[in-house]
């Protein structure tokens, strides 16, 4: 191909060279000006004859520096006639490329103000390459453009939080220095022996010499020097957006450029010296709040109670992440073991991989599938719906529900037609709420489950019906390890204001010392067995050691006699549990009716109702402490209202809130079912 382009860009290149030289001079002058300020200001302070005891420097208001970055340019529109003598056979439309941005900068903003100004003037490259096109001869064609401007960009600076983060916006006035192109048409691939065409270079015609557009951006100042020094250096990463409005390189055709700029600015500033008298230190006496320390040790005579516990059945089966098989922690029977299964003898059916507190207390729950299968066997008219919920989608949730159905059908011989299944991506009552950000892993573990729904009253809690009703509770006779009212209570009244933390030093008659703490709350309860061990009783010296906010150590001593709590031989008490949804302090309506219609009538005349609230470990400890108290008071309110309807005022209440305290929680927090059962309020009913 012959080139018909007039290569008349010499004068323009001369202009480019001239402006580049001028630009370098401006940068050098800026750096020299900034560097000279330090000795001049220092000399100024030195020559002043004033009575000073200390010289300090203000934060600079004027900043001088250099901005450098990359322009990511996006071409749109159409370009075909490159100049008066050269028209390419096929129109180019979209393209992109990266150009250099380099400019001196001047900024003014007062340290205590949100507003300021930014002035930048420098070289602005809008270089890019158009997407390849195919010409009528079936030849690929490429076009690249080298567009360079001398740009002037004044901006208004706004720091919304009076911090190092700032926004800026303003006009962009650009003068074109260079607008050259390079065009290359390839050969038809069908004719490999064809000679390649020459690359055509030249200057675009109809170039807009002046452009007026706009930009918006954001930056962040990172100090590189001490803020109290006279000379201060700041590095500011920035990003800006320059839309295509007003950015048409040429007056002909429709080509426009949108640019995203990213870079950094290095800025130098000089603070003004000010005379500041050195203030004489004044000693202020810090008075720590007074703390009263008392110990309450119950008599714990060996006549405490056995209890009949009504244990609620949360109608969920939780699944491990990445698995649709029933987890091993659930008790799964073989077919020949079904005939020997009894709800009131669950001790013989334990989970194979639990230990400690959860092994003792979760035996009932981990038999949920066996309890359900046994009840469906005894009541052949009952039906259930299994709803599997999985973060991976409804298909995965349905597989989880299918695993539960297969167990009931294959082991308990439940007819398949009595069990329907459904898959969802979230349960109907999810733990993870929209917009939540904290401890999502634990919340999502609780949402990966199969819910057991039924309309059959014989499977459900008393007076309840519908798909959201809980399964009928299990009644078990247990020997309590130690009721909460048998614990030793330590009360450091005022400790939450006076102390950072406080701890306990407990010494027996033989001089053996035990340490407990540190604590931040005012009241602490410790099981007597944790102190006594295997001893039946003993005398102890109790030392409370507090660390005050002012750094002092406060010690207070008292003595007490402890008696180990022992279980009774006869049955005396009743226990009920109310389960709460995640982060809720109000009981759902079906539990409110259960408390009123089932629990209240069982409270004997002159009896005592001990209510203690708990939470799981999700959330802040202080928040959970308050939440547990709110839950306990919610149950007290419901029971009091039920008693009032019966014209009774003979019942004594004791209310406790233990939050997420691991020493007092009923269950561990390793698995989601344990966390669900820790969202509870326990009601102990003690006869007169």
Give me the residues of the chain with pLDDT under 50, please: 1-20, 22-23, 26, 30-52, 284, 286, 302-304, 354-357
State which H helix or E strand residue 35 sits in: helix 10-47
Specify the CATH superfamily of domain 306-467.
OmpA-like domain (3.30.1330.60)
Contact assessment for residue 364 and residue 313, using Cβ atoms and an 8 Å cutoff? yes
| 59 three-class SS | coil
**CATH number of the domain located at residue range(s) 292-297+482-563 in this protein:** 2.60.40.10
CA neighbor of 471 nearest in space, from 343, 567, 585, 626: 343
d(CA 371, CA 441): 30
Contacts of 601 (CB under 8 A, 6+ apart): 646
> What span, in angstroms and rounded, lies between the C-alpha atoms of 380 and 624?
43
> Cα(459)–Cα(456) distance, rounded to whole angstroms?
6
Range(s) within the chain of domains with CATH label 2.60.40.10: 292-297+482-563
Q: What was the pLDDT predicted at 445?
A: 87
DSSP calls for 91-151: EE--EEEEEEEEEEEEEEE-TT-SEEEEEEEEEEE--EEEPPEE-TTS-EEEEEEEEEEEE
- The pLDDT, as a whole number, for residue 538 is 86
Instruction: Show Cβ contacts of residue 381 under 8 Å, excluding neighbours closer than 6 positions.
Output: 456
CA–CA gap between residue 668 and residue 674 (Å, rounded): 6
The whole-number pLDDT of residue 41 equals 39
pLDDT at 455: 84
Task: Give start-end residues of each CATH 3.30.1330.60 domain in the chain.
Answer: 306-467, 571-686
Q: Which of 488, 486, 489, 491 is nearest to 556 (CA)?
A: 491
CB count, 10 Å around CB of 657? 21
Cβ count near 80 (within 10 Å): 17
What are φ and ψ of residue 396, in 5° steps? -70, -40
pLDDT for 481 equals 57
Q: Are 576 and 599 in contact (CB under 8 A)?
A: yes
pLDDT of residue 275: 63
Treating both helix axes as pointing N-terminal to C-terminal, what angle do 368-378 and 394-412 enclose, rounded to 10 degrees? 60
Structure token pair of residue 481 = 């390890």
pLDDT of residue 151: 97
For residue 583, give the 3-state DSSP assignment: coil
- Count other C-beta atoms under 10 Å from residue 400's C-beta: 27
Report the predicted TM-score, pTM, of the whole model to 2 decimal places.
0.45
Determine how β-strand 306-313 pairs with β-strand 571-579: parallel
pLDDT at 351: 54
Pick from 565, 486, 531, 527: nearest CA to 665:
527
Provide the CATH number for the domain formed by 571-686 in this structure.
Answer: 3.30.1330.60
Bridge partners of residue 642, in order along the sequence: none
Which residues are registered as beta bridge partners of 100? Answer: 70
């Amino acid at each position: 191909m012959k080139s018909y382009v007039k290569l008349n860009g010499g004068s323009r290149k001369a202009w480019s060279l001239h402006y580049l030289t001028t630009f370098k001079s401006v940068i050098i002058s800026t750096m020299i000006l900034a560097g000279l300020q330090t000795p001049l200001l220092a000399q100024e302070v030195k020559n002043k004859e004033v009575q000073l005891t200390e010289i300090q420097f203000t934060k600079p208001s004027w900043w001088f520096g250099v901005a450098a970055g990359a322009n990511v340019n996006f071409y749109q529109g159409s370009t075909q006639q490159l100049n008066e003598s050269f028209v390419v056979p096929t129109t180019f439309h979209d393209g992109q490329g990266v150009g250099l941005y380099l400019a001196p900068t001047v900024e003014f903003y007062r340290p205590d103000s949100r507003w300021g100004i930014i002035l930048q003037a420098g070289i602005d490259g809008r270089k890019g390459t158009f997407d390849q096109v195919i010409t009528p001869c079936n030849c690929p064609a490429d076009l690249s453009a080298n567009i360079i401007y001398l740009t002037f960009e004044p901006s208004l600076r706004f720091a919304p939080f009076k911090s190092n983060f700032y926004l800026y916006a303003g006009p962009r006035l650009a003068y074109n220095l260079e607008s050259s192109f390079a065009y290359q048409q390839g050969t038809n691939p069908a004719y490999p022996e064809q000679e390649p065409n020459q690359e055509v270079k030249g200057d675009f015609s109809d170039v807009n010499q002046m452009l007026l557009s706009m930009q918006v951006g954001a930056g962040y100042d990172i100090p590189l020097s001490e803020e109290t020094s006279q000379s201060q250096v700041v590095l500011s990463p920035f990003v800006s957006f320059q839309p295509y409005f007003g950015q048409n390189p040429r007056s002909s055709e429709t080509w426009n450029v949108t640019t995203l700029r990213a870079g950094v600015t290095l800025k130098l500033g000089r603070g003004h010296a000010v005379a500041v008298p050195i203030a004489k230190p004044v000693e202020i006496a810090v008075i720590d709040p007074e703390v009263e320390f008392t110990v309450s040790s119950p008599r714990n005579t060996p006549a405490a109670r056995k209890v009949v516990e009504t244990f609620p059945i949360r109608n969920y089966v939780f699944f491990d992440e990445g698995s649709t098989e029933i987890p091993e922690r659930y008790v799964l029977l073989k077919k020949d073991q079904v005939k020997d299964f009894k709800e009131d003898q669950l001790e013989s059916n334990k989970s194979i991989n639990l230990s400690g507190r959860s092994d003792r207390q979760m035996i009932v729950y981990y038999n949920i599938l066996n309890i359900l299968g046994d009840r469906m066997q005894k009541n052949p008219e009952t039906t259930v719906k299994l709803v599997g919920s999985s973060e991976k989608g409804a298909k995965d949730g349905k597989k989880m529900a299918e695993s539960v159905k297969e167990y009931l059908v294959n082991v308990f011989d439940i007819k398949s037609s009595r069990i329907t299944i459904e898959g969802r991506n979230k349960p109907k009552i999810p733990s993870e709420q929209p917009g939540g950000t904290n401890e999502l892993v634990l919340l999502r573990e609780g949402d990966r489950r199969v819910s057991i729904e039924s309309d059959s009253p014989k499977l459900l809690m008393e007076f309840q019906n519908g798909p959201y009703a809980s399964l009928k509770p299990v009644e078990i006779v247990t020997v309590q390890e130690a009721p909460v009212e048998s614990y030793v209570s330590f009360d450091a009244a005022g400790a939450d204001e006076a102390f950072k933390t406080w701890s306990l030093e407990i010494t027996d008659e033989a001089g053996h010392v035990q340490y407990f703490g540190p604590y931040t709350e005012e009241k602490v309860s410790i099981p007597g067995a944790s102190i006594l061990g295997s001893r039946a009783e003993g005398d102890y010296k109790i030392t409370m050691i507090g660390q005050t906010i002012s750094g002092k150590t406060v010690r207070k001593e008292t003595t007490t006699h402890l008696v180990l709590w022992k279980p009774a031989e006869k049955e005396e008490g009743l226990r009920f549990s109310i389960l709460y949804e995640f982060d809720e302090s109000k009981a759902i309506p079906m539990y409110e009716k259960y408390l009123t219609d089932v629990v209240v009538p069982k409270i004997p005349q002159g009896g005592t109702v001990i209510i203690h609230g708990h939470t799981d470990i999700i959330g802040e400890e202080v928040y959970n402490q308050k939440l547990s108290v709110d839950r306990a008071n919610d149950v007290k309110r419901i029971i009091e209202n039920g008693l009032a309807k019966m014209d009774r005022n003979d019942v004594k209440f004791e209310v406790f809130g233990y939050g997420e305290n691991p020493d007092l929680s009923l269950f561990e927090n390793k698995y989601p079912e344990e966390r669900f059962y820790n969202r509870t309020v326990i009601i102990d009913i003690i006869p007169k």
